[in-house]
Chains A and B, each alone.
Chain A
Amino acid sequence: MNYILKRLGYGLLLMLGVVVLNFFLIRLAPGDPAVVIAGEMGGATEEMLESIREEYGLNKPLLTQLWIYVSSVAQGDLGESFFFNQPVSKLIALRIGPTILLVIVAQILSIVIGVFLGVLAARKPNGIMSAFVSVFATIGYAVPVFWTGIMLIILFASTFPIFPVEGMQSVKLRDANIFIRSLDITHHLVLPAFTLAIIYLAQYARLSRASMLEVLGADYIRTARAKGASERSVLFKHALRNAALPILTIAGLQFGNLISGALLVETVYNWPGMGRLAFDSILRRDYPTIMGVLFFASAMVVIANLITDLSYRLADPRLRGKS
């Protein structure tokens, strides 16, 4: 419990770091911070700039400005988007759900399929499956994710029109009941989630193969086989449980990359998430929104790391009770 509190505190500290970084990034940008905050396309009037200066305290000393900024973020106020004419927190609240859905489904897909492929490959270290996994992993690493997305769109838009290639919901089903709508969203989710999963799937396959090979040489595996455990039980129960730790570590570390990938995938598929919002606001130089997205995206990574940390302790009894 103590440990969890400690990790939580550390996570909050990291988030404070992100806020401070955001603050200095705006001030490091060339030009008047008020103009930067208003955004180039905002068509900022002198009154508007004056009100921004007032709100952010831009006429006060730098440390006071920092304090004003940090305390308003702590109260959930991420500023106003002058392009969308809405509070940033509201904009993000609308967009964070789709991103979380996309990222988590992609993560699960890549871990489940990747680990399964890796375990199959580990059974025969020199077999066809092993060769396939290593070739696939190298290819998966090298393909630009946005290009995979575009190729899949070309394939599925005209040749095999079985999956929708754009957006998250069909317009005509917007008023249907919740069950039909979730089916519709799942249907829309297939291609984006799969596109995002491909890169990581390949890496998990390779990693779990290596990790399994290491574990399969251990004495307790020979013991399990000797006592007559079925091959499936040896692979998935005895071996995989011990091979899972490095996979878990990487899964936690990959989360930030996954969000970066989601950004591109959302742009390609017009998925209405934070990545799409980041892209739109960057084109309009809407810095309060960009900074808000950066803040929330980092928060997602911090939370993911926290969860990884905790599940690590659940998965490895040796770590329990230690801090």
Chain B
Amino acid sequence: MSDLEKTLRAQSPMAEAWRMFRRNIPAMFGLIILIMIILTTLYGAFVFTGDPYEIVWAPHEPPLLTPEFPLGTDYLGRDIIAGLLTGGAPTLAVGASAAIITMVIGITLGAFAGYYGGWVDTLLMRITEFFQVLPALLFAMVLVTLFSPSLITIAIAIGVVSWPQTARLTRAEFLRIKELEYVTAARAIGAQNGLIMWRVIIPNAAPPLIVSATLTVGVAILFEAGLSFLGLGDPNKMSWGLMIGMNREYILDAWWPVTFPGLAIFLTVFSVSLVGDGLNDAFNPKLRER
């Protein structure tokens, strides 16, 4: 019995995908970096006690010269390492929650459009097209300014501007899957529409949606960084984008206060997208050649 269980487990699509993923060197590399970034951010948020806003040293101390401040200080003399440690939390939190909001809106609308078709589809797709016309960052800027910049507003604003692509993807998956035999079978045994949508179609549409969710996290992180850079983030929460924005005026005097936070953002999004590509390959082994 246990042998049979083992065989069955080995054949489950998720296990199969994980087996493929594990062999993918860039994807594993991305996953390891991402885990390290998350751990560092958690450390910065919950263990580290330093204040990133505190002036601790002379301004513009270059990196590697003072042992206490290996990455130097910014234009006011604040420790850059302290900023990097604490600045990850808002970025990652907003990135993750914005991605969740995006997926919830996108999957819900896309599912209804694809499943019901007809006027529901037409209406929902028109709404989607409308939101694709609005330049996302600008619209997010407007929303954040109108409704006071807090992490929640920012996450909602990013979610509101980035769902259309998820909706289109979900709709396409629904259009494809709803014609398949197992959906007809489910309907034949009397399953209701809601049950078919959430329990039959969604699980089968999961692979592309998971990949898209990963990439959405990357896009959301870039959005958050852009908004904070422009000074539209939560001013009381140090974040990587904000560090770059604050030190922008002095880039010709000191390169390090803007370089390190930028590298942190880059590494985070880079590792997320390596993981996303890896998942894509793992779910679609046929596409690996490309």
Contacts and interface: CB of A to CB of B under 8 A. Distances in A.
Interface of A: 14, 17-18, 21, 25-26, 28-30, 125, 138-139, 141-147, 150-151, 153-154, 157-158, 209-210, 213, 253, 256-257, 259-261, 263-264, 267-268, 275, 278-279, 282-283, 285, 287, 290-291, 293-294, 297-298, 301-302, 305
13 contacts: A141-B269, A142-B222, A144-B226, A144-B229, A146-B244, A151-B262, A153-B251, A153-B252, A253-B132, A259-B135, A263-B141, A287-B146, A297-B135
Contacts of A210: 290
Contacts of A146: 225-226, 229, 244
A294 B130 CA distance: 13
B58 interface: no
A297 B130 CA distance: 13
B78 to A, nearest CB: 18
7 residue pairs, one from A and one from B, having the closest CB atoms: A260-B137, A147-B262, A142-B269, A142-B270, A259-B135, A29-B146, A297-B135
Contacts of B166: none
A125 B248 CA distance: 41
Interface in B207-257: 218, 222, 225-226, 229-232, 241, 244, 248, 251-252, 255
B134 interface: yes
A193 to B, nearest CB: 18
B123 interface: no
B106 to A, nearest CB: 15
A213 B290 CA distance: 8
B130 A14 contact: yes
B138 A154 contact: no
Contact of A143 (B130, B139, B266): B266
A65 B133 CA distance: 25
Interface of B: 129-130, 132-139, 141-143, 145-147, 218, 222, 225-226, 229-232, 241, 244, 248, 251-252, 255, 258-259, 262, 265-266, 269-270, 272-274, 277, 289-290
Contacts of B232: 282
A198 to B, nearest CB: 12
Given A147-B265, A260-B135, A301-B135, A138 B270 contact: yes
Contacts of A294: 134-135, 138-139, 142
A14 B133 contact: yes
Given A28-B146, A146-B244, A151-B262, A139 B270 contact: yes
Nearest to B226: A264
Contacts of A293: 138
A297 B273 contact: no
A142 B132 CA distance: 22
A256 B230 contact: no
Contact of A142 (B137, B218, B255): B218
Contacts of B258: 147, 150, 154
Nearest to A15: B133
Nearest to B165: A253
A268 B248 CA distance: 8
A266 to B, nearest CB: 11
Nearest to B268: A142
A279 B230 contact: yes
Contact of B252 (A30, A157, A261, A268): A157
A257 B136 contact: yes
Contacts of A285: 145
Contacts of A263: 135, 137-138, 141
A90 B138 CA distance: 20
A291 B232 CA distance: 17
Contacts of B251: 150, 153-154
A213 B251 CA distance: 43
B135 A282 contact: no
Which among B132, B147, B289 has the highest number of chain A CB atoms within 10 Å? B132
Nearest to A279: B230
A275 B251 CA distance: 21
B266 A144 contact: yes
A141 B273 contact: yes
Given A150-B251, A267-B230, A278-B141, A256 B133 contact: yes
B147 A142 contact: no
Given A14-B129, A142-B272, 12 more contacts: A125-B289, A143-B266, A144-B244, A144-B266, A147-B244, A150-B258, A158-B252, A256-B135, A264-B226, A290-B142, A301-B133, A301-B135
A294 B258 CA distance: 29
B141 A282 contact: yes
Contact of A144 (B146, B265, B274): B265
A305 B129 CA distance: 11
A92 to B, nearest CB: 13
A144 B262 contact: yes
Contacts of B147: 29-30
A102 to B, nearest CB: 14
Nearest to B30: A138
B98 to A, nearest CB: 15
A142 B275 CA distance: 12
Contacts of B289: 125, 213
Contacts of B270: 138-139, 142
B162 to A, nearest CB: 10
